[in-house]
Amino acid sequence: MTRILGIETSCDETSASVLTGEGNDVTLDSLVILSQDVHRVFGGVVPEIASRQHLTAIVPVVERALADANIGLADLDAIAVTHAPGLVGALLVGVSFAKALAFGRGIPTVGVHHMEGHLFATALEHRDAVPPFTALLVSGGHTLLLDVEAWGRYRLLGRTRDDAAGEAFDKVAKLLGLPYPGGPHVERLARTVESSRLRFARPMLRRNQQPGDVDYYDVSFSGLKTAVLQASRTATPDDHPHIARAFHDSLVETLVEKTARAVQQYGRTRVVLGGGVAGNKTLAAAMQQRVKRLGATVYAPSPRLATDNAAMIARAGLYHFEQGTRAPLDLNAFASLPIPGLVGA
Ligand code: KG4
Ligand code: ZN
C-alpha cells in the first residue's frame, strides 16, 4: 500500500489530495480544491495573478488535505505533482513546493502530465473505468482522442486542429454574455430549448471519411465559433438559447461520432471521458446513446473530478510510482509536452 500526496497548480485551481492504494485498488482519503475566483473579473485566467494566488494558497491547501485524511507529513510515501502542460509560472509553484517538501521528508517526487491525470480521474469513481478503453479528453486547453490499451500505453488518434472543446465553450459564452468559465452556462442555456431554430455545420465530419484519412479523427472548432459570432451579431436575447443549442448540438455530435469511430476501429467496450467538458451531462448522455449500439459503456467523471483536481494527479502519480518512476531534483515545468507513453499509430 502506498500513500501519496497529489498537487495540482497548472491553471487556476490550487488543489491537493491524499490517496492510499495499490494497482487499481485505490481509496481517496481527501481532496481539497481552491478555485481562484478572481479571474472571473477578467473573463479569463491572468497568468501572473494565478501564480501569486497559488503561492498564497499552496501551504493551507496541502495542510487541509493532510488534516482531512487524518495523517501527517510523516505518513506520506511519495508526492505527485503536475509539471506539464499548463501556465509555467503556475506549474512552478506546485513543482517547487513538491520538491522542497519531498526533499525535506526524504521521500520521492513523481512528475505527472496534466492530461494523463485527466485520463485517470474517472477510475477514482468507477471501478470499471480502467484499460483497455477509448478515451476522449476534453478540457479548456486540449481535445484528445486516444486508444488506451493499458495504463501508460496511449495511441493518439485525433486532436483539435485549433480551439479545444472547453475553449470553444468559453468563447461562445463570452459572445452570449455569459460568465467565465462558460461551459456549464452554455450547457444550461442550450437545454432551455427543445431544438434550435439554427443549424451550424459539423466541423470535420463527413460521411465518406475512412480510417487513415487525415481528418478521420481530428476535430476543429474555430469555424463553429465564427458561426456563433456571426449569428450573435444580429441576434436578440430571444435568439441566444437557440444559438447555444445549435453550437452545443454541433460540438456534441462531432465529438460523439469521432469517438464512436475509435470504439469501432479498436473494438473497445468502454469509453472514458475526462477533462472539464466531460462534466457536461448532455455530452455523456449522447455518447452513451451512440456507443450502446456498438456494445460499449460510457464512464464520465462527476464535475468535481472532471475539472482540474489533485486526486487525478495523485492517481496517475501512484501508477508511475509503482512502475518505479522517480523524478530527479531538477524536475522542471513545461508549458507544453506530449503525453508520456505514446505508442505509434
Ligand atoms: O479540465 P479543466 O478544468 O481545465 C483545463 O485543464 O483546461 O477544463 C476547464 C474547461 C473550461 O473551458 C470550462 O468551460 C469547461 O471545462 N467546462 C464545461 C463544463 N464544465 C466545465 N464545458 C461544457 N460543459 C460543462 N458542463
Ligand atoms: Zn485540466
Look up the CATH number of the domain holding residue 189.
Answer: 3.30.420.40
Q: For ligand 1, what atom is nearest to the CA of residue 182?
A: 14
Residues 317 and 276 in one domain: no
Query: Could you tell me which residues are beta bridge partners of residue 21?
Result: 2, 26
For residues 246 and 293, membership in a common domain is answered with yes
Residue minimizing CA distance to atom 13 of ligand 1: 183
Residues 98 and 200 in one domain: no
Mean pLDDT across the chain, nearest whole number?
97
Dist CA 65 CA 32 (whole Å): 6
Closest ligand to residue 142's CA: 1
- Cβ-defined contacts of 22-28 (< 8 Å, 24+): 22/322, 23/322, 24/123, 24/127, 24/130, 26/123, 26/124, 26/315, 26/318, 28/124, 28/311
- The x, y and z cell numbers of residue 112, run together, are 505527472
Q: Is there a single domain that holds both residue 44 and residue 189?
A: no
Establish if 218 belongs to a structural domain: yes
Flag whether 175 is in a domain: yes
Q: How many domains does the chain have?
A: 2
What is residue 207's predicted lDDT score, i.e. its pLDDT? 85
Same domain, 87 and 137: no
What confidence tier does 43 reach under pLDDT thresholds 50, 70, 90? confident
| Cα distance between residue 266 and residue 269, in whole Å | 9
Asked if residue 340 belongs to a domain, the reply is no
The reply to whether 237 and 141 lie within a common domain is yes
Does residue 250 form part of some domain? Answer: yes
Contact assessment for residue 177 and residue 241, using Cβ atoms and an 8 Å cutoff: no
How confident is the model at residue 344, as a pLDDT?
84
Question: Buried b / exposed e across 249-280, counting CB within 10 Å, b at 16+?
Answer: bbbbebbbbbbbbbbeeeebebbbbbbbbbbb
237 C-alpha to center of ligand 2: Å? 32
Residue 242 shares a structural domain with residue 144? yes
Question: Would residue 335 count as lying in a domain?
Answer: no
Distance (Å, whole) CA 41 – CA 54: 18
Do 87 and 57 form a contact (C-beta atoms < 8 A)?
Answer: no
* Domain co-membership, 36 together with 107: yes
Cα(221) to ligand 2 centroid in Å equals 18
What range defines the domain where residue 204 resides? Answer: 131-300
Same domain flag for 31 and 177: no
Greater confidence (6 vs 203) lies with: 6
Asked if 248 and 163 sit in the same domain, the reply is yes
Instruction: Determine what percent of the chain is predicted with pLDDT higher than 90.
Output: 96
Residue 174's alpha-carbon distances to 11, 167, 178, 191, 277, in angstroms, are 19, 11, 6, 18, 17
Whether 125 maps to a domain, the answer reads no
Any domain includes 249: yes
Distance, CA 116 to ligand 1 centroid (Å)? 16
Residue 6 shares a structural domain with residue 85: yes
Residue 11 near ligand 1, beta carbon < 6 Å: yes
**pLDDT tens for residues 239-248?**
999 999 999 9
93-110: average pLDDT: 98
Question: What percent of the chain is modeled with pLDDT above 70?
Answer: 100
73 by Cβ neighbours in 10 Å (0-12 / 13-18 / 19+) ranks as middle
Closest CA to 24 of 113, 115, 151, 197: 151
What are the angstrom distances between the C-alpha of 49 and each of 79, 273, 315? 25, 30, 28
173 shares a domain with 33 = no
Residue 342 lies inside a defined structural domain of this protein: no
Pick the closest to residue 54 from 7, 20, 99 (CA basis): 7
Residue 266 has pLDDT above 70, yes or no: yes
pLDDT at residue number 71: 98
For residue range 107-122, list pLDDT tens digits in order. 999 999 999 999 999 9
CB 109 within 8 A of CB 35: no
The x, y and z cell numbers of residue 164, run together, are 479545444
Grid coordinates representing 165 are: 472543446
